Chain A
Amino acid sequence: MEPYKKHESIAALMKRSNVDTDQIIPKQFLKRVERTGFGKHLFHDWRFNDDGSDNANFELNKAEFAGAKILVVGDNFGCGSSREHAPWAIADYGFNTIVSTSYADIFYNNCFKNSILPLKVDKQKLHDLMAEVADNAGVRFVVDLENQQLITPAGNGFTFEIDTFRKDNLLQGLDDIGLSLLQSDKIAEYEAKHKQTYPWLWS
């Protein structure tokens, strides 16, 4: 996994709530057996017209958001299915940070496996950030994960909370599986005990 580095980037705005994973990556793109190449299908049904041309009314098609790495979006982002294709598409498109009030649990977990930082802010703060992006086309925010800071030109920045385990993994680009395998002895010990207590699971 790519380590997450401090960066300054354009913030894009989607003033929508309950954006579900079917919108993030529609099901017709889930048939691929690879992890890559989903970015071009991100938000497909909103992003493109029926003839395949860009839908000029869709937020992310605005020129001012080109190259954005930060996505500011409404409540309960990523609800619905467990498809990791959603964060794969988001990362492949170029976003590495999302700012919202809340996320669906599975989506939230999936972000951390793909070097995406999903930041949680309160309703008022999200409102202020949305206003700043709306009023300042192409505004750039700084995200400093190490110091847990988001900095904005208009001073709407804040210190964010994040689980230390997840923070360290993001900063170092650590593979979770390798970390769990360091506990192989404990897992084997648990299994031995488990087999004795719950023999029917193993017969």
Chain B
Amino acid sequence: MKKTMYEKIWDSHLVVEVPGQAPLIYVDRHLMHEVTSPQAFEGLRVAKRKVRNPHSILATMDHCVPTKNRHLPIADPIAKKQIETMADNCKSNGLNLYDMKSPNNGVIHVVVPEHGFVHPGMVVVCGDSHTATHGAFGALAFGIGTSEVEHVMATQTLPQQKSKTMLVQIDGELSKYASAKDIALAITGKIGTAGGTGHVIEYAGEAITKLSMEGRMTLCNMAIEAGARAGLVAPDQKTYDYLKGREFTPAGENWDKALAYWQGLVSDEGAQYDTIVTLNADEIEPQVTWGTSPEQVAGVTSVIPAPEDFEDEIKSEACANALNYMGLTANTKITDIAVDLIFIGSCTNGRIEDFRVAAEVTKGTKVAEGVTAIAVPGSYHVKEQAEQEGLDKIFIEAGWEWRDPGCSMCLAMNGDELTVGQRSASTSNRNFEGRQGKGGRTHLVSPAMAAAAAAAGHFVDIRNL
């Protein structure tokens, strides 16, 4: 039988199927951060259970960590306790933790690929919905709840129901400055935030093959925003070149064995998918979200829709609510929306390529009057690389803040946040009400679009710069 990549990974990780129970799936890699793990460790302790395979775990601190004045103690006592709890839990269980002071520290989904910890064909979990990122390597990677974190620690397995498969085929060529982020937002706009529910998405086509590994990570990262727990891209030469020589990547004889295995993971010609969605990359403009859900998105040359533009009663009402929350008027041009704060960073767009393109747009500009712009590298390695290339100077000379790594304003747990009514252009992944601070208004965009908005003080079509 012809199989999709998802089915191949599923079949090779099936431990046992007990009649009347959900199939038990083996987990190769378990990623951790400080927010969703403490209660799982507590559960293990109470039940007197041990971590079955400590080597399968890589942990970092990212959600609550300050992005400036890192040498000072964390001011928020509850955040401080969470950070300390993470350190204690990792130490007592013998886990590899890149703590706040480690040169390897950063956002979990940025750090993990840097060290070659995820390979094609693996099953990867983390108490974090953006685990989908690692599908860029052809790994089945998905977010889980804290009870499941505990389950994986204790058993190295998870009871799982098999997902449906969705092929998102994107042919054609992206225009200059349209990016993986714009593809991800365009897909969410097309199928909605529940469009991928119950599915694992496989992204394929000319436009996907041409994406860099960083671009593929951005794309898969946002599979969850389209409702899919996981996104996959078939591994190819770019994947192997990226992985080769990294800390946890196999070497020598094992490299050859691994490579042969990875090459066999690609979906069989003629394999069947439950759902197929197609987009043409030529038609994907730089995207800007205008509402409070990632599906409320439009191309930069559009105007903000009106509630009556939606036939569906619920979508129409959601549009009215979103415009009210966002303080926007229907039919306003996207390029007429003025912004107060720019954030470049997060597990979606906090990688070196993101800062390169943003710096290219920023070079020789100044941050517009009244606008605050912050650049938060996804990891210390990204920061170091950017500084070696002189990108930090470009941002600083333009009036940007150049910070230490962390999740920062993506979810605003660490004190970096919008105030009531403040409007951001953000390279993160969610524009939910209050996501970046109570009453804050978020517009999701690509790094190039964010950088251009910083200089102009409003959105601009970067293709015209």
* Residues of A participating in the B interface, judged by any CB pair closer than 8 Å: 17-18, 20, 22-23, 26-28, 30-35, 45, 74-76, 79-84, 87, 102-106, 109-110, 113-114, 163-165, 168, 176-177, 179-181, 183-184, 186-187, 190-191, 194, 198-203
Task: Tell me which residues across on chain B come within 8 A of A35, comparing CB atoms.
Answer: 39, 42, 146
B26 touches A30 (CB 8 A): no
Asked whether any CB of chain A lies closer than 8 Å to the CB of B428, the reply is no
A82 touches B143 (CB 8 A): yes
Known: A22-B430, A31-B82, A80-B432. A186 touches B15 (CB 8 A): yes
The contact sample of 6 A-B pairs, CB cut-off 8 A, is: A31-B413, A81-B143, A82-B127, A114-B147, A177-B49, A179-B159
Task: Tell me which residues across on chain B come within 8 A of A23, comparing CB atoms.
Answer: 432-434
Interface residues of B in 324-368 (CB under 8 A from A): none
Nearest CB to that of A28 among chain B residues?
B413
A183 touches B24 (CB 8 A): yes
B434 touches A26 (CB 8 A): yes
A186 touches B85 (CB 8 A): no
A33 touches B293 (CB 8 A): no
Task: Tell me which residues across on chain A come within 8 A of B254, comparing CB atoms.
Answer: 199-200, 203
Asked whether any CB of chain A lies closer than 8 Å to the CB of B383, the reply is no
In the assembled complex, how far is the CB of residue A192 from the closest CB belonging to chain B, in whole angstroms? 12
A168–B26 alpha-carbon span in the complex (Å): 23
* Residues of B participating in the A interface, judged by any CB pair closer than 8 Å: 15-16, 18, 20-22, 24, 26, 28, 35-36, 38-39, 42, 47, 49, 55, 63-64, 76, 78-79, 81-82, 85, 119, 122, 127-129, 131, 142-148, 150-151, 154-157, 159, 161, 193-194, 197-198, 227, 229, 250, 254-255, 257-258, 261, 293, 314, 318, 411-413, 430, 432-435, 438
A109 touches B433 (CB 8 A): no
B78 touches A31 (CB 8 A): yes
Task: Tell me which residues across on chain A come within 8 A of B147, comparing CB atoms.
Answer: 84, 110, 113-114, 176
Task: Tell me which residues across on chain A come within 8 A of B78, comparing CB atoms.
Answer: 31-32
B39 touches A33 (CB 8 A): yes
A181 touches B36 (CB 8 A): no
Residue from A80, A104, A113 with most neighbouring chain B CB atoms (10 Å): A80
A76–B119 alpha-carbon span in the complex (Å): 32
A163–B79 alpha-carbon span in the complex (Å): 39
In the assembled complex, how far is the CB of residue A107 from the closest CB belonging to chain B, in whole angstroms? 8
A82 touches B36 (CB 8 A): yes
A200–B262 alpha-carbon span in the complex (Å): 12
B21 touches A165 (CB 8 A): yes
A97–B389 alpha-carbon span in the complex (Å): 55
Task: Tell me which residues across on chain A come within 8 A of B49, comparing CB atoms.
Answer: 177
B293 touches A18 (CB 8 A): yes
In the assembled complex, how far is the CB of residue B337 from the closest CB belonging to chain A, in whole angstroms? 22
A108–B126 alpha-carbon span in the complex (Å): 17
Task: Tell me which residues across on chain A come within 8 A of B198, comparing CB atoms.
Answer: 105
Interface residue from A45, A74, A106, A181 paired with B229 (Cβ < 8 Å): A106
Task: Tell me which residues across on chain B come within 8 A of A79, comparing CB atoms.
Answer: 193-194, 227
Known: A82-B143, A180-B24. A75 touches B194 (CB 8 A): yes
B156 touches A191 (CB 8 A): yes
Residue from A33, A34, A114 with most neighbouring chain B CB atoms (10 Å): A33
In the assembled complex, how far is the CB of residue A182 from the closest CB belonging to chain B, in whole angstroms? 8
A105–B388 alpha-carbon span in the complex (Å): 42
A79–B194 alpha-carbon span in the complex (Å): 8
A27–B435 alpha-carbon span in the complex (Å): 8
Q: Beyond the given A79-B227, A109-B145, please list 9 additional residue pairs across the A-B interface where CB-CB is below 8 A.
A: A30-B35, A45-B438, A81-B129, A105-B229, A165-B20, A180-B157, A183-B155, A191-B156, A199-B254
Interface residue from A80, A84, A190, A198 paired with B145 (Cβ < 8 Å): A84
Nearest CB to that of B44 among chain A residues?
A177
B145 touches A176 (CB 8 A): no
Task: Tell me which residues across on chain A come within 8 A of B131, comparing CB atoms.
Answer: 82
Residue from A28, A177, A179 with most neighbouring chain B CB atoms (10 Å): A177
Task: Tell me which residues across on chain A come within 8 A of B438, comparing CB atoms.
Answer: 26, 45
A33–B131 alpha-carbon span in the complex (Å): 21
Task: Tell me which residues across on chain B come within 8 A of A87, comparing CB atoms.
Answer: 145
Task: Tell me which residues across on chain A come within 8 A of B76, comparing CB atoms.
Answer: 31
Nearest CB to that of B258 among chain A residues?
A200
A33 touches B155 (CB 8 A): no
Task: Tell me which residues across on chain B come within 8 A of A177, comparing CB atoms.
Answer: 47, 49, 150-151, 154-155
In the assembled complex, how far is the CB of residue B67 from the closest CB belonging to chain A, in whole angstroms? 16
A27 touches B18 (CB 8 A): no
A32–B85 alpha-carbon span in the complex (Å): 10
Known: A30-B35, A76-B227. A183 touches B22 (CB 8 A): no
A183–B438 alpha-carbon span in the complex (Å): 46
Known: A186-B16, A201-B28. A82 touches B38 (CB 8 A): no
Interface residue from B63, B255, B314 paired with A74 (Cβ < 8 Å): B314
A84–B151 alpha-carbon span in the complex (Å): 14
A82 touches B151 (CB 8 A): no
Task: Tell me which residues across on chain A come within 8 A of B250, comparing CB atoms.
Answer: 200, 203
A39–B39 alpha-carbon span in the complex (Å): 16
Interface residue from B42, B129, B155, B257 paired with A80 (Cβ < 8 Å): B129
A165–B17 alpha-carbon span in the complex (Å): 12
Task: Tell me which residues across on chain B come within 8 A of A30, comparing CB atoms.
Answer: 35, 63, 413
A33 touches B148 (CB 8 A): no
A165 touches B229 (CB 8 A): no
A76 touches B229 (CB 8 A): no
Task: Tell me which residues across on chain A come within 8 A of B150, comparing CB atoms.
Answer: 177
A109–B229 alpha-carbon span in the complex (Å): 12
In the assembled complex, how far is the CB of residue B9 from the closest CB belonging to chain A, in whole angstroms? 12
Known: A20-B432, A26-B434, A104-B194. A33 touches B24 (CB 8 A): no
A180 touches B155 (CB 8 A): yes
In the assembled complex, how far is the CB of residue B31 from the closest CB belonging to chain A, in whole angstroms? 12
Task: Tell me which residues across on chain B come within 8 A of A198, comparing CB atoms.
Answer: 258, 261
A151–B306 alpha-carbon span in the complex (Å): 39
A158–B282 alpha-carbon span in the complex (Å): 48
